[in-house]
Amino acid sequence: MAELSELDTQHLSAELARIDVLVRNQIELAVLAGQDFQDPIRGLHLADLQATAISRRPIGTSWATQAHAPAEVIARHERDLAEAESNIRIIVARGRIVGTKTRLMHIAAAFGLSRFELDAFLIALAPQLDIRFEQMYGFLNDDVTRKRATVNLVLDLLREPGIERLAHLFRFTESAPLQRYRLLVDGPDPTTPSGTTPLLTKNLIPDSSIVLWILGNYVPGAGELNSDAYLRWRLLDGGAPAMVEPESWLYQVSALVARDSTMLVSFHGADSAAQVASSKALLGLVGRVGLFADLSSVFPHARAEQAGVDGKDAEQSFDVRTVDPTVAEQHLRRALRDARMTGSVAIIDGWEACLNEGMMPSMLFQTLVDHPDTVILLSRSHWHVRGGYRERRVVRHDFGMPSYEQRRAMWKAAIGSEVAQGKMLDLLSGQFALTSAQIEDSVQAARDLSIERGGVEPESRDLFAAARMHVSPKLTLLARKIVPRHEWNDIVLPPDQISILKELVAMVRNRPTVLESWAVGKKLVPSSGVTTMFAGPPGTGKTMSAEVVAAQLELDLYKIDLSSMVSKYIGETEKNLEKIFREAERSNAILFFDEADAIFGKRGDVRDANDRYANIEVSYLLQRMEAYDGVTILATNLRSNLDEAFTRRLQFVVDFPFPDEQYRLMLWRNLFPDTVPHDSIDFESLARRFKLSGGNIRNVIVAACYLAANEGPDGRVTSEHISHALRRELQKMGRLV
């Protein structure tokens, strides 16, 4: 509803004036019965005469009913009350003429309140708007500390004395609208333990969200859902946000909602931001406003699950079976109440927090069924309703990870400048499986990086760096990140091996085109993963080649420490590796398993339980690698030690041969930095005389540089330094010098 109108103000003032008349009349009658309004400790002491008078009062009466009021006082009371009620009728009639409901009228209609229940709500509301009602209520409650409306006070003001008035007590129970929709909440009673307050003496306090809405300053979930609930007004142009264009399915859903206003809409999947954006777009198509409430804020373990907590921490922090459906139902009911009050469509995010093993508790579903309007449920997982026939229909849509074409459109829309060139968009979209929110965050981070280096618009390097920042926040806790330092020119390998590495890069870059655009992945390829084996002796360039591949693809490279993965306890190795694979899938990183034969070894004959579980580990790895969608590089010194089943699952196998004299010479020249001062060194002789791998040659050059630097600032690397470093390297290798 719009801002508070003049008619709203007039109606509220007229209703409060009527309550004021009722209260003043009750006080006057109590004073005529001998009660002292000026007693500062009223209700805190009880004199003998008062105790006797109380004992003689009939059941269901108050001090006011004991008064012997003159006829003119009674007539004045009736006249004042009639005048107040007449003013209310005039204002209500004026609203009907202009086709407008005031906020009080809307509350009564939306929640099915009777006149008695609306009056009870107004009596409880009065002290929130005028502090003098607190003093008057303290007098009528016969206790100066009771400054709020009680059930007994409401009955005294609205019903004739006698036991018959107790027939209205049911209106203050949990099943009645005032309590069911939390229009009134039970206030604390300092005189009794929690939960033991008799119904007649319960304090009645209006919910703060409702009070603020009546006054035209609505704050969603005030006092209940805190900042996790907020009002989303529909887009002025009735269209969709820039990140999500209305698709055909969205028009179909909007048509269903327009035809059936009780439709339940379920959006589920990994892309939570797209769910929210599509909800806004749907509201724009049907011309409604939405009230967004995040129920995962109620359950911290659900938020931990959304954040992707792994391992034992996840087991401790998230267990859907620990969700109390009663607590979830209370928060859901409050969110639906505010949606009904504001005429909004309820958008409930974090719905997975309320599920029990993928099933919706019947209590929660019944609460949804009782809500007479559309509800949009957002969750990461698919859910079901246990039970048979139900009247409410559910329309669903899965928001999995965006496809390549969707990611490309999102990158282009988010960048929104000439920087978004076709080739760069292809690479960003193909190599980073991001959600819409991650893409938006990456573009914002890229702009920050551009500003840091004095640029105006983000460049390609900024966008790739930002994308990497948003996809690998936790993998660093499980593996060691390697920062690529090498390029193609640094690799010394035969032409065929170089060609295979370039084919590997091309395959990773073109996966979206082949698997999605050409639909090859539907039948021929079980996953989009690319698995490669680098096999060869130590120091032949396997790690360097992995760095070059990562640099070319502009992806993060993580080296897996197998010593921390393998466990002697049954099943622990699989759990540790599952953490790596699961986080790597979120991170779009390249996994580099060095010394892979330690865990990817051959399966053997089963002679005891240890053999059986070792084979289970290998079988698990075979299945997990096949399901992994990222890039995996297995490095091994002994190719023959790997299980043959791994070879079948490999897209590429790169053999790294021990370098012969020609390639050793290339290694000496490539690895020796141009910036190092040196005398003439006979690299041809070194390559011919010493059969060393690239790793050994690197060690010799580094050691020779330190020897030269130790001679002072004018030191230069000489053949003597190289010879000394060679001697130490050969000794380390156990070879004769």
Residues 472-495 pLDDT 10s: 556 777 788 888 888 998 899 999
Return the ∠ at Cα 54 (arms to 52 and 59), rounded to 5°: 135
Of the three residues 350, 383, 398, the one that is the final residue of a domain is 398
Helix axis angle, 115-129 to 132-140, nearest 10°: 120
- Edge-first strand order for the sheet with 530-535 is 480-482, 557-560, 590-593, 631-636, 530-535, 652-655
Of the three residues 638, 655, 672, the one that is the final residue of a domain is 655
SS (H, E, C) 52-114: HHHHCCCCCCCHHHHCCCCHHHHHHHHHHHHHHHHHHHHHHHHHHHCCCCCHHHHHHHHCCCC
- 317 and 440 belong to one structural domain: no
Rounded Cα distance between 706 and 710, Å, is 6
In the numeric block, which tokens belong to residue 728? 């130490």
pLDDT at 297: 65
- CA 443 to chain CA centroid, nearest Å: 20
Rounded Cα distance between 690 and 329, Å, is 77
Residue 320 — pLDDT band, cuts 50, 70, 90?
very low
| Range list of β-strands (E), 245-344 | 264-268, 290-294
Burial of 534 (0-12, 13-18, 19+ CB in 10 A): buried
pLDDT top residue among 658 and 234: 658
- Domain that residue 573 falls in: 488-655
Residue 703 lies in a domain: yes
- 571 and 598 belong to one structural domain: yes
CATH number at residue 409: 1.10.8
Of the three residues 214, 245, 268, the one that is the final residue of a domain is 214
- 84 and 189 belong to one structural domain: yes
Looking at the whole model, is its pTM more than 0.75? no
* C-beta separation of 415 from 433 below 8 A: no
- 696 and 714 belong to one structural domain: yes
- 435 and 382 belong to one structural domain: no
- 184 and 303 belong to one structural domain: no
Quote the percentage of the chain above a pLDDT of 90.
30
Q: Is the pLDDT of residue 206 over 50?
A: yes
pLDDT top residue among 583 and 256: 256
CATH number at residue 678: 1.10.8.60
Domain count along the chain = 5
Residue 596 lies in a domain: yes
pLDDT digits (tens, 9 = 90+) for 22-42: 999 988 888 887 766 566 665
pLDDT top residue among 622 and 627: 627
| Range list of β-strands (E), 270-373 | 290-294, 345-349, 359-360
Residue 220 lies in a domain: no
pLDDT at 44: 60
- 245 and 267 belong to one structural domain: yes
Furthest-apart CA atoms within the chain: distance in Å:
129
Tell me which range, 36-50, 230-244, 362-376, 596-610, is most confidently predicted by mean pLDDT: 362-376
pLDDT at 31: 83
- Run of H or E residues at 157: helix 151-158
Q: Is the pLDDT of residue 585 over 80?
A: no
* C-beta separation of 299 from 353 below 8 A: yes
Rounded Cα distance between 301 and 323, Å, is 9
Q: Is the pLDDT of residue 347 over 60?
A: yes
Residue 233 — pLDDT band, cuts 50, 70, 90?
very low
Residue 248 lies in a domain: yes
Q: Is the pLDDT of residue 304 over 70?
A: no
Neighbours of 622 (CB within 10 A): 17
Q: Is the pLDDT of residue 431 over 70?
A: yes
Average pLDDT over residues 228-240: 44
Q: Facing residues of 652 across strands?
A: 532
Average pLDDT over residues 497-523: 87
CA 442, 445, 450, 453 torsion-angle sign: negative
Rounded Cα distance between 549 and 589, Å, is 12
pLDDT top residue among 330 and 176: 176
Q: Is the pLDDT of residue 231 over 70?
A: no
pLDDT digits (tens, 9 = 90+) for 84-140: 999 999 999 999 999 888 999 999 999 999 999 999 999 999 999 999 999 899 888
CATH number at residue 297: 3.40.50
Residue 478 lies in a domain: no
Amino acid at 472: S
pLDDT at 604: 52
Residue 557 lies in a domain: yes
pLDDT at 481: 86
Average pLDDT over residues 385-389: 62
In the numeric block, which tokens belong to residue 261? 């206003």
Residues 6+ apart with CB under 8 A from 632: 529, 530, 531, 532, 590, 591, 593, 625
Amino acid at 415: I
- 541 and 616 belong to one structural domain: yes
pLDDT at 130: 93
Q: Is the pLDDT of residue 561 over 80?
A: no
Amino acid at 131: I
- 353 and 257 belong to one structural domain: yes
- 453 and 601 belong to one structural domain: no
pLDDT at 238: 40
Residue 369 lies in a domain: yes
CA 45 vs CA 23, 50, 260, 569: distances in Å:
23, 10, 61, 72
> In terms of Cα–Cα distance, which of 369, 374, 360, 367 is closest to 392?
369
pLDDT at 353: 78
- CA 349 to chain CA centroid, nearest Å: 8
Q: Is the pLDDT of residue 10 over 90?
A: yes
590-593 and 557-560 as β-strands: parallel, antiparallel, unpaired? Answer: parallel
- 502 and 622 belong to one structural domain: yes
Poorest-pLDDT segment among 136-150, 225-239, 424-438, 630-644: 225-239
- 255 and 358 belong to one structural domain: yes
Q: Is the pLDDT of residue 717 over 90?
A: yes
Residue 570 lies in a domain: yes
Q: Is the pLDDT of residue 205 over 50?
A: yes
Poorest-pLDDT segment among 176-185, 243-252, 313-322, 646-655: 313-322
Side-chain-side CA neighbours of residue 692 (13 Å): 29
